[in-house]
Amino acid sequence: MSSRHATLRRTFSAQFGAMPMWLVRAPGRVNLIGEHTDYNDGFVLPMAIDRDVRLALAPRTDRQVHVFSLNFQQHDHFSLDDLQLTTTSPWGNYLRGVAWALQGAGFELTGFDAVMEGNVPIGSGLSSSAATELATVTAFRALGNLTLDAVQAALLSQKAENDFVGVKCGIMDQYISSLGQAGHALLIDCRSLGFEAVPLPAGVQFVIADSTVRRGLVDSAYNERRAQCEEGARRLGVPALRDVSLAEFERRAPALPDLVAQRCRHVVAENERVLHSVAALRAGDVTAFGRDMDESHTSLRDLYAVSHPVLDTMVEVARAVPGCLGARLTGAGFGGCTVSLVVNACVPAVVDALQREVARRTGLTPQIYLSGAEAGAGIILGE
């Protein structure tokens, strides 16, 4: 039994005086390319990582949910018949939101006792929120034998985050946490919600580095970008920026306000980059993939304006090490993580540079996460 599992069982027994019946998990994610494209009906290429949120749980006979969070050392409880936002345990809002979305979709839920624990760093852009949501869906699914598929689980989790918690995210994070596949990234079409599993190439690794920068106002900046994209699509007379090719965009861009044109240019080009980079990956051309990652970062920095000086330094430092094929910020931006594509033998040198040189230049020591691609949410143990 893993030590995390043992801790969950021990804590469950101390909190609830019994043993848990189920252990469920849902992973965080890193996006390899395709940033700020999901809410424009575009393409993304994330992979699920080996860090996850876990719930050890047992059913209750009433309509209550009682949860102890090991990370926050805090107890929270609510009734399935009275789902309100809480300010005393904000992490509990993801569980409430999922219960709200599932019940809204007509599912009959069972109350439960649970201990929750996660090792997805919180607020770092690796989707600890989506992991919490999908772990909660998986808990309700296990207890109530609910018949919902993995896409529906992702959509209802996104609904929980959009309409209950109040963050207007796209579908990428919930989708990959739900449908991730070991050894593969997923090319997701955020309009059709279809996906293709893309095998990760041998001989290289994705190095995730957390800047440790946590910036406030991310939500308002994110919503502002969304609004600028919507304005661009409206002025271009298309349902979403997904519907414009780069060539057509360049022809029509002069009619757009400058800032809107700049934001839209990122999205339109990024969509093409995702498809190009997936073709490169399938052809075994990791060098071309790395180049696309570099271009994605430049575009996010200069056109979409969602980078941060520390992220720019990290990308620069990683790229300067031989064997680093490309690097970019990942996730919403403004802080959080970068991801670099590195030849296996060169990983230690890149990690060393990221820690030492970035600390020297910025005073911050990035936290490094090395992870392969993992499976999406599921039941680890249970009836």
Tell me whether residue 332 or residue 351 sits nearer to ligand GLA (CB atom). Answer: 332
Q: Which residue has the tokens 């994110």?
A: 222
Q: Which helix (H) or strand (E) holds 371?
A: none
- Answer for the pair 201, 284: CB distance below 8 angstroms, yes or no: yes
Task: Report in angstroms how near the CB of residue 29 gets to ligand GLA at its nearest.
Answer: 9
285 Cβ partners below 8 Å, 6+ apart?
Answer: none
Q: Which residue has the tokens 């006979």?
A: 61
Tell me whether residue 39 or residue 195 sits nearer to ligand GLA (CB atom). Answer: 39
Pick from 100, 120, 31, 97: nearest CA to 339: 31
Task: Report in angstroms how near the CB of residue 168 gets to ligand GLA at its nearest.
Answer: 9
Task: Report in angstroms how near the CB of residue 158 gets to ligand GLA at its nearest.
Answer: 8
Q: Which residue numbers are catalytic?
A: 173
- Secondary structure (3-state) at 210: strand
Tell me whether residue 100 or residue 304 sits nearer to ligand GLA (CB atom). Answer: 304
Tell me whether residue 36 or residue 159 sits nearer to ligand GLA (CB atom). Answer: 36
Query: How far is the C-alpha of 310 from the C-alpha of 74, rounded, in Å?
Result: 33
Bridging pattern class, strands 64-69 and 112-118: parallel
The footprint of ligand GLA (CB under 6 A) covers 35-36, 38-39, 169-170, 172-173, 331-332
- Answer for the pair 173, 53: CB distance below 8 angstroms, yes or no: no
CA dihedral 153, 159, 161, 167 (to 10 degrees): 140
Task: Report in angstroms how near the CB of residue 184 gets to ligand GLA at its nearest.
Answer: 19
